[in-house]
Amino acid sequence: MKKVVKFGGSSLASAKQFKKVGDIIRGDKSRRYVVPSAPGKRSDKDEKVTDMLYQCYEAATQGKSYKKILEKIRERYDEIIDGLSLNLNLDFEFSTIEENFLKQAGKDYAASRGEYLNGMVMAEYLGYEFIDAAEVIFFDTDGSFLADLTDKELGDRLEHVEKAVIPGFYGAKKDGTIKTFSRGGSDITGSIVAKAIHADMYENWTDVSGFLVADPRIIKNPEVIETITYRELRELAYMGASVLHEDAIFPVRKEGIPINIRNTNCPEDKGTVIVESTCKKPNYTITGIAGKKGFCSINIEKAMMNAEVGFGRKVLEVFERYGVSFEHMPSGIDTMTIFVHQSEFEEFEQSVIAGIHRAVEPDFIEMESDLALVAVVGRGMKATRGTAGRIFSALAHSRVNVKMIDQGSSELNIIIGVKNADFEEAIKAIYDIFIMTEV
Protein backbone atom coordinates (compact mmCIF):
# COMPACT_ATOMS: atom_id res chain seq x y z
CA MET A 1 0.00 0.00 0.00
CA LYS A 2 1.27 3.47 -0.91
CA LYS A 3 0.15 6.75 0.61
CA VAL A 4 1.14 10.31 -0.20
CA VAL A 5 0.96 12.59 2.83
CA LYS A 6 0.93 16.37 2.54
CA PHE A 7 1.38 18.58 5.61
CA GLY A 8 0.28 22.21 5.72
CA GLY A 9 2.18 25.18 7.13
CA SER A 10 0.57 25.07 10.58
CA SER A 11 1.57 21.39 10.85
CA LEU A 12 5.23 22.31 10.27
CA ALA A 13 5.50 25.68 12.02
CA SER A 14 7.88 24.53 14.77
CA ALA A 15 10.03 21.63 15.98
CA LYS A 16 7.16 20.55 18.23
CA GLN A 17 4.85 20.31 15.23
CA PHE A 18 7.53 18.50 13.22
CA LYS A 19 7.68 15.84 15.93
CA LYS A 20 3.91 15.32 15.69
CA VAL A 21 4.29 14.91 11.95
CA GLY A 22 7.17 12.47 12.40
CA ASP A 23 5.04 10.33 14.73
CA ILE A 24 2.18 10.32 12.21
CA ILE A 25 4.44 9.26 9.31
CA ARG A 26 6.27 6.59 11.29
CA GLY A 27 2.96 5.29 12.62
CA ASP A 28 2.00 3.93 9.19
CA LYS A 29 4.59 2.25 6.93
CA SER A 30 2.51 3.02 3.84
CA ARG A 31 3.11 6.79 4.31
CA ARG A 32 6.09 6.73 1.98
CA TYR A 33 5.92 10.00 0.04
CA VAL A 34 5.80 13.30 1.92
CA VAL A 35 4.89 16.74 0.55
CA PRO A 36 5.66 19.58 3.02
CA SER A 37 4.54 23.21 2.96
CA ALA A 38 6.64 26.09 4.26
CA PRO A 39 6.49 26.79 8.02
CA GLY A 40 3.29 28.60 8.92
CA LYS A 41 2.36 30.71 11.92
CA ARG A 42 3.29 29.50 15.41
CA SER A 43 0.74 31.89 16.90
CA ASP A 44 -1.80 34.47 15.71
CA LYS A 45 0.82 37.23 15.92
CA ASP A 46 3.47 35.24 14.06
CA GLU A 47 4.35 35.49 10.36
CA LYS A 48 4.33 32.78 7.71
CA VAL A 49 7.74 32.08 6.21
CA THR A 50 6.33 32.53 2.67
CA ASP A 51 5.18 36.07 3.54
CA MET A 52 8.61 36.85 5.02
CA LEU A 53 10.29 35.60 1.83
CA TYR A 54 8.13 37.90 -0.28
CA GLN A 55 9.09 40.84 1.97
CA CYS A 56 12.76 39.95 1.82
CA TYR A 57 12.78 39.61 -1.96
CA GLU A 58 10.98 42.90 -2.45
CA ALA A 59 13.48 44.70 -0.21
CA ALA A 60 16.47 43.07 -1.95
CA THR A 61 15.26 43.94 -5.47
CA GLN A 62 14.50 47.53 -4.48
CA GLY A 63 17.94 48.10 -2.97
CA LYS A 64 16.55 48.32 0.56
CA SER A 65 17.89 46.63 3.69
CA TYR A 66 16.88 42.95 3.54
CA LYS A 67 19.43 41.16 5.76
CA LYS A 68 17.37 41.41 8.97
CA ILE A 69 14.37 39.76 7.30
CA LEU A 70 16.61 37.05 5.82
CA GLU A 71 18.11 36.45 9.24
CA LYS A 72 14.63 36.10 10.76
CA ILE A 73 13.83 33.45 8.17
CA ARG A 74 17.13 31.71 8.91
CA GLU A 75 16.29 31.73 12.64
CA ARG A 76 12.96 29.99 11.96
CA TYR A 77 14.73 27.07 10.29
CA ASP A 78 17.57 26.96 12.82
CA GLU A 79 14.99 26.78 15.60
CA ILE A 80 13.36 23.76 13.96
CA ILE A 81 16.71 22.08 13.19
CA ASP A 82 17.99 22.59 16.76
CA GLY A 83 14.68 21.46 18.26
CA LEU A 84 14.93 18.22 16.27
CA SER A 85 18.66 17.79 17.09
CA LEU A 86 19.52 17.42 13.40
CA ASN A 87 23.01 17.57 11.91
CA LEU A 88 22.00 19.92 9.09
CA ASN A 89 23.62 23.16 7.99
CA LEU A 90 21.76 25.50 5.62
CA ASP A 91 24.59 28.06 5.14
CA PHE A 92 25.09 27.20 1.48
CA GLU A 93 21.35 27.27 0.78
CA PHE A 94 20.85 30.70 2.36
CA SER A 95 23.92 32.05 0.57
CA THR A 96 22.45 30.85 -2.74
CA ILE A 97 19.05 32.34 -1.92
CA GLU A 98 20.61 35.73 -1.10
CA GLU A 99 22.62 35.67 -4.32
CA ASN A 100 19.53 34.83 -6.40
CA PHE A 101 17.44 37.49 -4.65
CA LEU A 102 20.00 40.12 -5.64
CA LYS A 103 19.96 38.75 -9.19
CA GLN A 104 16.17 39.20 -9.16
CA ALA A 105 15.38 35.54 -9.80
CA GLY A 106 11.66 36.26 -9.48
CA LYS A 107 8.87 36.31 -6.91
CA ASP A 108 8.02 32.68 -7.63
CA TYR A 109 11.58 31.66 -6.81
CA ALA A 110 11.43 33.65 -3.58
CA ALA A 111 8.11 32.15 -2.49
CA SER A 112 9.20 28.59 -3.29
CA ARG A 113 12.22 28.63 -1.00
CA GLY A 114 10.04 28.10 2.09
CA GLU A 115 8.91 24.69 0.83
CA TYR A 116 12.34 23.88 -0.59
CA LEU A 117 14.12 24.42 2.73
CA ASN A 118 11.40 22.71 4.75
CA GLY A 119 11.66 19.75 2.40
CA MET A 120 15.37 19.47 3.13
CA VAL A 121 14.70 19.59 6.88
CA MET A 122 11.91 17.02 6.60
CA ALA A 123 14.05 14.62 4.52
CA GLU A 124 16.88 14.83 7.04
CA TYR A 125 14.49 14.31 9.96
CA LEU A 126 12.79 11.26 8.44
CA GLY A 127 15.81 9.77 6.68
CA TYR A 128 13.93 9.95 3.34
CA GLU A 129 15.38 10.92 -0.04
CA PHE A 130 14.95 14.60 -0.94
CA ILE A 131 13.72 15.31 -4.47
CA ASP A 132 13.62 18.94 -5.58
CA ALA A 133 10.18 19.63 -7.11
CA ALA A 134 11.91 21.74 -9.80
CA GLU A 135 13.36 18.52 -11.21
CA VAL A 136 10.06 16.64 -11.52
CA ILE A 137 7.19 19.16 -11.83
CA PHE A 138 7.09 21.09 -15.09
CA PHE A 139 5.48 24.21 -16.53
CA ASP A 140 5.39 25.56 -20.08
CA THR A 141 7.05 28.86 -20.98
CA ASP A 142 3.71 30.64 -20.51
CA GLY A 143 3.34 29.19 -17.00
CA SER A 144 0.83 26.46 -17.87
CA PHE A 145 1.24 23.23 -15.89
CA LEU A 146 2.47 20.34 -18.05
CA ALA A 147 0.45 17.50 -16.53
CA ASP A 148 1.43 14.64 -18.86
CA LEU A 149 5.16 15.40 -18.84
CA THR A 150 5.16 15.79 -15.06
CA ASP A 151 3.23 12.56 -14.57
CA LYS A 152 5.75 10.59 -16.67
CA GLU A 153 8.93 12.16 -15.26
CA LEU A 154 7.75 12.06 -11.67
CA GLY A 155 6.48 8.49 -12.00
CA ASP A 156 9.80 7.35 -13.51
CA ARG A 157 11.81 9.14 -10.82
CA LEU A 158 9.81 7.69 -7.92
CA GLU A 159 9.47 4.19 -9.35
CA HIS A 160 12.69 3.04 -7.67
CA VAL A 161 12.55 5.37 -4.65
CA GLU A 162 11.06 3.68 -1.60
CA LYS A 163 10.59 6.83 0.50
CA ALA A 164 10.87 10.47 -0.58
CA VAL A 165 10.15 14.08 0.35
CA ILE A 166 9.00 16.33 -2.51
CA PRO A 167 8.45 20.00 -1.54
CA GLY A 168 5.03 21.39 -2.37
CA PHE A 169 3.87 24.54 -4.17
CA TYR A 170 6.39 24.83 -7.02
CA GLY A 171 8.03 23.32 -10.10
CA ALA A 172 10.07 24.74 -12.97
CA LYS A 173 9.77 25.86 -16.57
CA LYS A 174 11.90 24.18 -19.26
CA ASP A 175 14.62 26.83 -18.85
CA GLY A 176 14.86 26.09 -15.12
CA THR A 177 12.95 29.18 -13.98
CA ILE A 178 10.97 28.42 -10.83
CA LYS A 179 7.17 28.60 -11.19
CA THR A 180 4.71 28.27 -8.32
CA PHE A 181 1.10 27.22 -8.16
CA SER A 182 -1.32 29.71 -6.55
CA ARG A 183 -1.23 30.08 -2.74
CA GLY A 184 -2.14 26.82 -1.07
CA GLY A 185 -0.63 25.00 -4.05
CA SER A 186 1.12 22.35 -1.95
CA ASP A 187 -2.26 20.58 -1.99
CA ILE A 188 -1.90 20.35 -5.77
CA THR A 189 1.64 18.95 -5.52
CA GLY A 190 0.41 16.21 -3.19
CA SER A 191 -2.31 15.30 -5.66
CA ILE A 192 0.16 15.24 -8.58
CA VAL A 193 2.52 12.94 -6.66
CA ALA A 194 -0.37 10.65 -5.70
CA LYS A 195 -1.37 10.29 -9.35
CA ALA A 196 2.19 9.70 -10.54
CA ILE A 197 2.82 6.80 -8.13
CA HIS A 198 -0.75 5.39 -8.38
CA ALA A 199 -1.24 5.89 -4.64
CA ASP A 200 -3.92 4.06 -2.70
CA MET A 201 -4.67 7.18 -0.65
CA TYR A 202 -3.72 10.86 -0.57
CA GLU A 203 -3.72 12.14 3.02
CA ASN A 204 -3.84 15.91 3.39
CA TRP A 205 -2.92 16.88 6.96
CA THR A 206 -3.95 20.31 8.22
CA ASP A 207 -5.23 22.00 11.39
CA VAL A 208 -8.88 20.91 11.16
CA SER A 209 -10.44 17.45 11.46
CA GLY A 210 -11.90 17.43 7.96
CA PHE A 211 -14.55 19.36 6.07
CA LEU A 212 -17.26 20.85 8.24
CA VAL A 213 -20.94 20.96 7.32
CA ALA A 214 -20.91 24.74 7.79
CA ASP A 215 -18.54 27.62 8.53
CA PRO A 216 -17.45 27.41 12.22
CA ARG A 217 -17.44 31.22 12.35
CA ILE A 218 -21.22 31.06 11.88
CA ILE A 219 -22.15 27.69 13.42
CA LYS A 220 -20.60 26.73 16.75
CA ASN A 221 -18.89 23.31 16.56
CA PRO A 222 -20.47 22.18 13.28
CA GLU A 223 -20.52 18.49 12.38
CA VAL A 224 -17.64 16.98 10.38
CA ILE A 225 -18.51 15.53 6.97
CA GLU A 226 -17.37 11.88 7.03
CA THR A 227 -17.56 11.21 3.27
CA ILE A 228 -17.98 13.67 0.41
CA THR A 229 -17.86 13.22 -3.36
CA TYR A 230 -15.66 15.28 -5.66
CA ARG A 231 -18.75 16.89 -7.18
CA GLU A 232 -20.13 17.92 -3.78
CA LEU A 233 -16.72 19.25 -2.81
CA ARG A 234 -16.48 21.33 -5.98
CA GLU A 235 -19.85 22.92 -5.26
CA LEU A 236 -18.93 23.77 -1.66
CA ALA A 237 -15.40 24.94 -2.52
CA TYR A 238 -16.74 27.20 -5.26
CA MET A 239 -19.04 28.84 -2.72
CA GLY A 240 -16.23 29.52 -0.27
CA ALA A 241 -15.62 26.35 1.79
CA SER A 242 -11.81 26.17 1.78
CA VAL A 243 -9.89 23.37 3.46
CA LEU A 244 -8.33 22.00 0.27
CA HIS A 245 -7.13 23.88 -2.83
CA GLU A 246 -9.89 23.14 -5.35
CA ASP A 247 -7.40 22.38 -8.17
CA ALA A 248 -6.00 19.55 -6.05
CA ILE A 249 -9.04 17.45 -6.92
CA PHE A 250 -8.38 16.99 -10.63
CA PRO A 251 -5.20 14.84 -10.73
CA VAL A 252 -6.46 12.25 -8.23
CA ARG A 253 -10.00 12.27 -9.60
CA LYS A 254 -8.68 10.96 -12.92
CA GLU A 255 -7.17 7.99 -11.08
CA GLY A 256 -10.00 7.40 -8.61
CA ILE A 257 -7.64 8.02 -5.67
CA PRO A 258 -9.47 9.05 -2.46
CA ILE A 259 -8.30 12.07 -0.45
CA ASN A 260 -8.39 11.98 3.33
CA ILE A 261 -8.40 15.35 5.13
CA ARG A 262 -6.83 14.82 8.59
CA ASN A 263 -5.86 16.91 11.61
CA THR A 264 -2.17 16.88 12.62
CA ASN A 265 -3.09 17.94 16.15
CA CYS A 266 -5.81 15.26 16.50
CA PRO A 267 -4.42 12.32 14.48
CA GLU A 268 -6.95 9.92 16.02
CA ASP A 269 -9.80 11.73 14.23
CA LYS A 270 -10.79 9.98 10.99
CA GLY A 271 -11.36 13.26 9.16
CA THR A 272 -13.16 13.54 5.83
CA VAL A 273 -12.72 11.12 2.93
CA ILE A 274 -13.24 12.59 -0.56
CA VAL A 275 -14.23 10.04 -3.19
CA GLU A 276 -15.49 9.97 -6.77
CA SER A 277 -18.64 8.08 -5.87
CA THR A 278 -19.95 6.07 -2.94
CA CYS A 279 -22.92 3.92 -1.99
CA LYS A 280 -22.35 4.92 1.62
CA LYS A 281 -25.47 6.64 2.86
CA PRO A 282 -24.80 10.18 4.15
CA ASN A 283 -25.52 10.89 7.82
CA TYR A 284 -27.83 13.75 6.87
CA THR A 285 -29.97 14.73 3.89
CA ILE A 286 -27.50 17.49 3.08
CA THR A 287 -23.72 17.21 2.96
CA GLY A 288 -22.81 20.83 3.54
CA ILE A 289 -23.77 24.51 3.44
CA ALA A 290 -21.56 27.28 2.09
CA GLY A 291 -22.00 30.75 0.70
CA LYS A 292 -20.62 34.12 -0.26
CA LYS A 293 -21.66 37.73 0.17
CA GLY A 294 -21.21 40.59 -2.26
CA PHE A 295 -23.45 39.91 -5.24
CA CYS A 296 -25.92 42.04 -7.16
CA SER A 297 -28.72 41.08 -9.51
CA ILE A 298 -29.85 42.57 -12.82
CA ASN A 299 -33.47 41.71 -13.53
CA ILE A 300 -34.53 42.09 -17.18
CA GLU A 301 -38.19 42.05 -18.21
CA LYS A 302 -39.59 41.87 -21.73
CA ALA A 303 -42.93 40.60 -22.99
CA MET A 304 -42.64 37.43 -25.11
CA MET A 305 -38.95 37.07 -24.21
CA ASN A 306 -39.27 33.29 -24.45
CA ALA A 307 -40.19 33.52 -28.13
CA GLU A 308 -37.20 35.67 -29.07
CA VAL A 309 -34.42 33.42 -30.38
CA GLY A 310 -30.95 34.40 -29.11
CA PHE A 311 -32.21 36.68 -26.34
CA GLY A 312 -30.03 35.13 -23.62
CA ARG A 313 -26.94 35.05 -25.81
CA LYS A 314 -27.31 38.75 -26.70
CA VAL A 315 -27.61 39.70 -23.02
CA LEU A 316 -24.61 37.63 -21.93
CA GLU A 317 -22.50 39.02 -24.76
CA VAL A 318 -22.89 42.46 -23.17
CA PHE A 319 -21.47 41.17 -19.88
CA GLU A 320 -18.67 39.40 -21.76
CA ARG A 321 -17.76 42.61 -23.57
CA TYR A 322 -16.96 44.28 -20.25
CA GLY A 323 -15.21 41.25 -18.70
CA VAL A 324 -17.97 40.57 -16.16
CA SER A 325 -18.67 36.88 -15.46
CA PHE A 326 -22.08 35.80 -14.22
CA GLU A 327 -22.74 33.40 -11.34
CA HIS A 328 -26.37 32.35 -11.81
CA MET A 329 -29.11 33.09 -14.29
CA PRO A 330 -32.62 32.08 -13.17
CA SER A 331 -35.32 32.94 -15.69
CA GLY A 332 -39.08 32.99 -16.30
CA ILE A 333 -41.27 33.39 -19.38
CA ASP A 334 -40.82 37.18 -19.55
CA THR A 335 -37.98 37.66 -17.06
CA MET A 336 -34.28 36.92 -16.84
CA THR A 337 -32.09 37.65 -13.82
CA ILE A 338 -28.28 37.76 -13.89
CA PHE A 339 -26.31 37.44 -10.65
CA VAL A 340 -22.79 38.91 -10.72
CA HIS A 341 -20.07 39.88 -8.23
CA GLN A 342 -20.90 43.41 -7.16
CA SER A 343 -17.25 44.49 -6.93
CA GLU A 344 -16.63 43.42 -10.56
CA PHE A 345 -19.84 44.95 -11.87
CA GLU A 346 -20.00 48.39 -10.23
CA GLU A 347 -17.38 49.97 -12.51
CA PHE A 348 -19.27 48.93 -15.66
CA GLU A 349 -22.88 48.94 -14.49
CA GLN A 350 -24.14 51.85 -16.57
CA SER A 351 -22.29 50.66 -19.67
CA VAL A 352 -23.75 47.16 -19.27
CA ILE A 353 -27.28 48.50 -18.75
CA ALA A 354 -26.97 50.69 -21.86
CA GLY A 355 -25.59 47.72 -23.78
CA ILE A 356 -28.53 45.52 -22.77
CA HIS A 357 -30.99 48.20 -23.88
CA ARG A 358 -29.31 48.38 -27.28
CA ALA A 359 -29.00 44.59 -27.65
CA VAL A 360 -32.51 43.39 -26.71
CA GLU A 361 -34.70 46.49 -26.08
CA PRO A 362 -36.16 45.29 -22.75
CA ASP A 363 -39.36 46.70 -21.25
CA PHE A 364 -37.75 47.17 -17.86
CA ILE A 365 -34.40 46.66 -16.05
CA GLU A 366 -34.03 46.65 -12.28
CA MET A 367 -30.90 46.16 -10.17
CA GLU A 368 -30.54 45.04 -6.56
CA SER A 369 -27.28 45.14 -4.61
CA ASP A 370 -25.84 43.69 -1.37
CA LEU A 371 -27.00 40.13 -1.97
CA ALA A 372 -25.54 36.82 -0.77
CA LEU A 373 -25.73 33.34 -2.27
CA VAL A 374 -26.08 30.24 -0.10
CA ALA A 375 -25.47 26.76 -1.54
CA VAL A 376 -27.11 23.74 0.08
CA VAL A 377 -25.26 20.70 -1.29
CA GLY A 378 -25.83 16.98 -0.88
CA ARG A 379 -26.11 13.74 -2.81
CA GLY A 380 -28.80 12.70 -0.31
CA MET A 381 -31.18 15.43 -1.56
CA LYS A 382 -31.86 13.54 -4.79
CA ALA A 383 -33.54 10.65 -2.98
CA THR A 384 -35.34 12.76 -0.36
CA ARG A 385 -38.69 14.41 -0.99
CA GLY A 386 -39.47 17.83 0.44
CA THR A 387 -35.88 19.09 0.76
CA ALA A 388 -36.61 22.46 -0.85
CA GLY A 389 -39.79 22.79 1.21
CA ARG A 390 -37.85 22.27 4.44
CA ILE A 391 -35.27 24.86 3.40
CA PHE A 392 -37.83 27.56 2.65
CA SER A 393 -39.89 26.71 5.71
CA ALA A 394 -36.79 27.12 7.90
CA LEU A 395 -35.91 30.43 6.24
CA ALA A 396 -39.46 31.73 6.59
CA HIS A 397 -39.49 30.75 10.27
CA SER A 398 -36.27 32.76 10.74
CA ARG A 399 -37.80 35.72 8.86
CA VAL A 400 -35.27 35.47 6.01
CA ASN A 401 -36.63 36.74 2.70
CA VAL A 402 -35.57 34.60 -0.30
CA LYS A 403 -34.56 36.73 -3.30
CA MET A 404 -33.65 33.91 -5.71
CA ILE A 405 -33.88 30.12 -6.06
CA ASP A 406 -31.78 28.09 -8.50
CA GLN A 407 -31.53 24.29 -8.63
CA GLY A 408 -29.49 22.31 -11.13
CA SER A 409 -30.92 19.28 -12.92
CA SER A 410 -28.44 17.05 -11.06
CA GLU A 411 -30.39 17.81 -7.84
CA LEU A 412 -27.02 17.98 -6.11
CA ASN A 413 -27.42 21.55 -4.92
CA ILE A 414 -29.91 24.34 -4.33
CA ILE A 415 -28.71 27.95 -4.54
CA ILE A 416 -30.61 30.55 -2.55
CA GLY A 417 -30.18 34.31 -2.84
CA VAL A 418 -30.73 36.45 0.28
CA LYS A 419 -29.72 39.92 1.46
CA ASN A 420 -26.19 40.23 2.85
CA ALA A 421 -27.70 41.12 6.22
CA ASP A 422 -29.57 37.78 6.32
CA PHE A 423 -26.61 35.61 5.27
CA GLU A 424 -25.57 34.23 8.67
CA GLU A 425 -29.17 33.77 9.82
CA ALA A 426 -29.98 31.83 6.64
CA ILE A 427 -27.09 29.39 7.21
CA LYS A 428 -28.06 28.91 10.86
CA ALA A 429 -31.67 28.19 9.91
CA ILE A 430 -30.73 25.62 7.26
CA TYR A 431 -28.17 23.95 9.57
CA ASP A 432 -30.71 23.68 12.36
CA ILE A 433 -33.44 22.13 10.21
CA PHE A 434 -31.19 19.52 8.56
CA ILE A 435 -28.50 18.76 11.13
CA MET A 436 -29.88 19.53 14.58
CA THR A 437 -33.29 18.01 13.91
CA GLU A 438 -31.88 14.89 12.19
CA VAL A 439 -29.41 13.97 14.94
Domain residue extents for the chain: 3-275, 288-436
Is 379 known as a binding-site position?
Answer: no
Is 387 known as a binding-site position?
Answer: no
Is 232 known as a binding-site position?
Answer: no
- Least confidently predicted of 99-113, 254-268, 378-392: 378-392
pLDDT at 439 over 90: no
3-275 and 288-436 share one CATH topology? no
Average pLDDT, integer, range 123-137:
97
Is 93 known as a binding-site position?
Answer: no
pLDDT at 336 over 80: yes
Q: What whole-number percentage of the chain has pLDDT above 90?
A: 79
Is 311 known as a binding-site position?
Answer: no
How high does pLDDT run on average in the chain? 93
CA angle 394, 397, 403 (to 5 degrees): 75
Is 217 known as a binding-site position?
Answer: yes
Strands 326-328 vs 3-7: parallel, antiparallel or unpaired: unpaired
pLDDT at 68 over 70: yes
Smallest CA-to-CA distance from 10 within 193, 187, 169, 205 is with 205
- Least confidently predicted of 117-126, 337-346, 381-390: 381-390
The larger pLDDT score, comparing residue 329 to residue 239, is at: 329
In CATH terms, is domain 3-275 a member of 3.40.1160.10? yes
The C-alpha atoms of residue 257 and residue 200 are separated, in whole angstroms, by 6
The C-alpha atoms of residue 102 and residue 438 are separated, in whole angstroms, by 60
pLDDT at 46: 93
Contacts of 97 (CB under 8 A, 6+ apart): 70, 113
pLDDT at 409: 66
Is 184 known as a binding-site position?
Answer: no
pLDDT at 280: 80
Fold (topology level) of 288-436 = VC0802-like (3.30.2130)
pLDDT at 76: 96
pLDDT at 384: 80
Q: What whole-number percentage of the chain has pLDDT above 70?
A: 99
The C-alpha atoms of residue 373 and residue 405 are separated, in whole angstroms, by 10
pLDDT at 135 over 70: yes
pLDDT at 438: 66
pLDDT at 425: 96
